[in-house]
Chain A
């Protein structure tokens, strides 16, 4: 890994670009900028940035398509920026391989957290995955299929564990309903969101201090779920 992580921002709004460049450079990132999808793709191919921040509403090609084309040859983490109007596009971009998304307007703290997760995840892609995921008083041993809360083992059903394990091994990233259903239940279940609702609610009851105000197992309305390991 380079000393200064390299971030490519693909967006056509000059003011957003100006703000992002100032803020990210202050946070010791190397920042490059592309104003169109084509430019962004060309730059990504030649410079190989560590993270790409991608706006969905681009002047030339759709952000979703940029994402799909990028995924044909690169695993670089992509964080999608969208306004609420692009709800469906957002899910589509995630299903097309984007790693995460942020809704405009967003707080910079959120963006930095997403960038950290993305960098960590891309480092994991190259190394071996962590066998144990920790978050607060939770400890998820992926290899031994054991979950402990405050050191005490919690009994989970097979599906509950599979769901938790998949979320935890992607800690910090949002996983779409479709993605979760396909990975945990199988491709023929991709529309049965009710399965997710029930199993997430069970997991929360077993693992969260206050299931009504979850700390680890977060809903991303209209998109999916996210395991948050941040304290």
Chain B
């Protein structure tokens, strides 16, 4: 008869088959000893009945095989010690022969019955265990969307359940994602040996990978095989679900960026048309020979064309910056720079927009160098100044101050006397196309502040806005260190 399949999945075979048989035989011998002492006071049929006890016990404890061994040995010892003539296997009386035969048949029957019941119990337990394990796996895989994480969980569970010496899971590459391989405990274990078991990670859509298992213990084909197949199916499903979720996220991001692009296009075409219509109107007026323009009016029209061309150029510059930030291609070309120099270049460039404002700069010349991209930080100031010139009333003060906060950061503040922004909008003014007031009154792409944020963050700094008692402030924190080091002092010869 075949050995019962490897029983519980979670407990190892504590008693390998041979030991179980020895134990069964031992128990029968022990019983024989006890019965032998009581031989004079018991008759043969009672002894036969009592002999059934150890056989029953063996079957229950160690399975059908052990029970059969016990039954066979009991048959022999019963005959040898308890049926006259003693100490021979000879049988003289017919009734003793009948007793022996019946004993053997009963032992056989009991072993079968009890053994089968036990086998069923074990199988039921194993199924329950299996279901519990599968449930555990599926619940730990639920909601996990990273392939690496899924494979990690899967490998750990397989190793636990099958007591594997090594588990390796290979995930094949799919469309734009590279394949990879994970090995528990590590690559080195059982490197030379071929895996004891290989199961594909397969779904309706095809094979996505493979689970490989190494272990010293032999495999029980039936139960373990189906268990491993079930786990592999779970894993494959989880991987597929994760792939679908990622694809869905990607689609959502694309959709979002599409939405942003159309918002950008509509905003941009509006913003482009405004200066263009001014330019077109001025140029056509000058071209038409119908009116004799006075010198002053001519000059005025030409100035409008010039100014609007500058606005267009600034808009295009902002669009380029924005697309670079979006593409993650905004790499600051860092050099050691002086904040005072950057600010004065920005102010010079914004001279025309700022002529109606009082600009005050309070920046100490002895401030340390900052490791920044000159042009990018200049653009930050240009955008902040342009924003101030849009919102703050004419004739008011725009102030720029800078000081070191500690050895690592510099705080730069640009304040104007513009209107407050409600607290809940303070953060979102740095988002694209966000405008606090209605778009008609204020021109611009709605990109300026989000570009500032993109640039400052690319420099490892921080930017935020704040309402002051009297006006509005932009705060910038700029790092003073580059690769963890501050600027070296320059010998000035003075």
A interface, CB within 8 angstroms of B? 84-85, 87-88, 105, 107, 157-160, 193-195, 197-202, 205, 212-214, 219, 221-222
Residues in chain A near residue B344, CB distance under 8 A? 212-214, 219
A84, A193, A194, A222 pick with most chain B CB within 10 angstroms: A194
Q: Which residue of the partner chain, among A85, A198, A214, A221, contacts B490 with CB atoms under 8 Å?
A: A198
Specify the chain B residue showing the minimal Cβ separation from A210. Answer: B344
How many Å from the CB of A22 to the closest CB on chain B? Answer: 15
Q: A105–B313 contact, CB under 8 A?
A: yes
B375 at the interface (CB under 8 A from A): yes
B324-361 to A contact mask, C-beta < 8 Å, 1/0: 00000000010111101110110110000000000001
17 contacting pairs across A/B (C-beta < 8 A):
A87-B375, A105-B313, A157-B492, A160-B493, A193-B337, A194-B369, A194-B487, A194-B490, A195-B490, A197-B338, A197-B341, A199-B492, A200-B341, A201-B340, A201-B365, A221-B374, A221-B378
- Chain A positions within 8 Å of B320 at CB level: 84-85
CA distance A212 to B378 in the complex (A): 15
B492 CB to closest chain A CB, in angstroms? 6
Known: A201-B341, A212-B344, A222-B374. 19 other contacts (CB 8 A): A88-B333, A105-B313, A157-B493, A158-B493, A160-B493, A193-B336, A193-B337, A194-B369, A194-B487, A197-B338, A197-B341, A199-B490, A201-B338, A201-B340, A212-B340, A219-B341, A219-B344, A219-B345, A221-B378
Q: How far is the CA of A85 from the CA of B375 in the complex (A)?
A: 12
B483–chain A nearest beta-carbon distance, Å: 14
Contact A197 B369 (CB under 8 A): yes
Q: Which residue of B is nearest A85, CB measured?
A: B320
Q: Does B264 contact A (CB under 8 A)?
A: no
**Beta-carbon nearest neighbor of A84 in chain B:** B317
- Kindly state whether residue B458 has any CB partner on chain A within 8 Å: no
CB proximity of B43 to chain A, nearest CB, Å: 111
- Closest Cβ of chain B: how far from A15's Cβ, in Å? 14
Q: Tell me, in angstroms, the Cα distance from A194 to B482 when the chains sit together.
A: 13
A105 and chain B: residue at smallest CB distance:
B313
Cα–Cα distance between A213 and B348 once the two chains are bound (Å): 7
Chain A residue at minimal CB-CB distance from B348: A213
Which residues from chain B sit less than 8 Å from chain A, CB to CB? 306, 309, 313, 317, 320, 333, 335-338, 340-342, 344-345, 347-348, 361, 365, 369, 373-375, 378, 487-488, 490, 492-494
Interface of A is mostly: helix
B365 touches which one: A160, A205, A219, A221 (CB < 8 A)?
A: A205
Min C-beta distance of A56 to chain B, whole Å: 16
Smallest CB gap from B337: residue in A: A197
Point out the residues of chain B lying under 8 angstroms from A222, CB to CB. 333, 373-375
Residue among A84, A197, A200, A202 making CB contact with B336, cutoff 8 Å: A197
- A200 CB contacts on chain B under 8 angstroms: 341
Report the Cα distance A158→B491, complex, angstroms: 13
Contacts of A195 in B (CB 8 A): 490
Contacts of B340 in A (CB 8 A): 201, 212
Distance of A132 Cα from B270 Cα, bound (Å): 54
When chains A and B are docked, how far (Å) is the Cα of A157 from the Cα of B373? 29
Interface centre among B341, B345, B487 (most CB of A within 10 A): B341
Q: Is there contact, CB below 8 Å, between A159 and B493?
A: yes
A105 CA / B309 CA spacing, docked (Å): 9
A221 & B375 in contact (Cβ 8 Å cutoff):
yes
- How far does the alpha carbon of A158 sit from the alpha carbon of B317 in the complex, in Å? 41
**Nearest residue, chain A, Cβ from B371:** A194
Q: How far is the CA of A185 from the CA of B488 in the complex (A)?
A: 16
Known contacts A201-B341, A221-B374; A157/B309 CB under 8 A = no
Inside 8 A of A219's CB, which chain B residues have their CB?
341, 344-345
Q: Which residue of chain B is the closest to A158 with respect to CB atoms?
A: B493
Chain A residues lying within 8 Å of B487, measured Cβ to Cβ, are 194
Nearest-Cβ distance from residue B128 to partner chain A, whole angstroms: 69
A159 to B488, CA, bound (A): 18
Q: How far does the alpha carbon of A87 sit from the alpha carbon of B369 in the complex, in Å? A: 23
- Chain B proximity of A175: nearest CB distance (Å): 16
Bound CA span A202–B348, Å: 19
Asked, given contacts A84-B320, A87-B375, A201-B341, whether A157 binds B365 with beta carbons under 8 Å apart, the answer is no
**Residues in B neighbouring A158, C-beta threshold 8 A:** 493
User: Given A158-B493, A194-B487, does the pair A221, B345 have CB atoms closer than 8 Å?
Assistant: yes
Are B374 and A202 in contact, CB atoms less than 8 angstroms apart? no
Give the complex CA separation of A193 and B487 in angstroms: 11
The CA-CA distance from A193 to B320 in the complex, in Å, is 27
Give bound CA distance, A202 to B333, whole Å: 24
> Which listed residue (A105, A107, A212) contacts B361, Cβ 8 A?
A212
**In chain B, what residue has the closest Cβ to A104?**
B313
Q: Which residues of A contact B309 (CB under 8 A)?
A: 105
Q: Write out the residue numbers on chain A whose beta carbons fall within 8 Å of the beta carbon of B373.
A: 222
Q: Which 5 A-B pairs have the closest CB atoms?
A: A194-B336, A157-B493, A198-B490, A222-B375, A193-B335
Bound Cα distance from A212 to B346, whole angstroms: 11
Report B312 CB to chain A, min CB distance, Å. Answer: 8
Tell me the smallest distance from the CB of A92 to a CB of chain B, in Å: 13
Which single residue of chain A is at the shortest CB-CB distance from B379? A221
Report the separation of the CA atoms of residues A194 and B374 in the bound assembly, to the nearest whole angstrom.
12
Within 8 Å by CB of B494, from A85, A197, A202, lies A202
Residue of A whose beta carbon sits closest to that of B349: A221
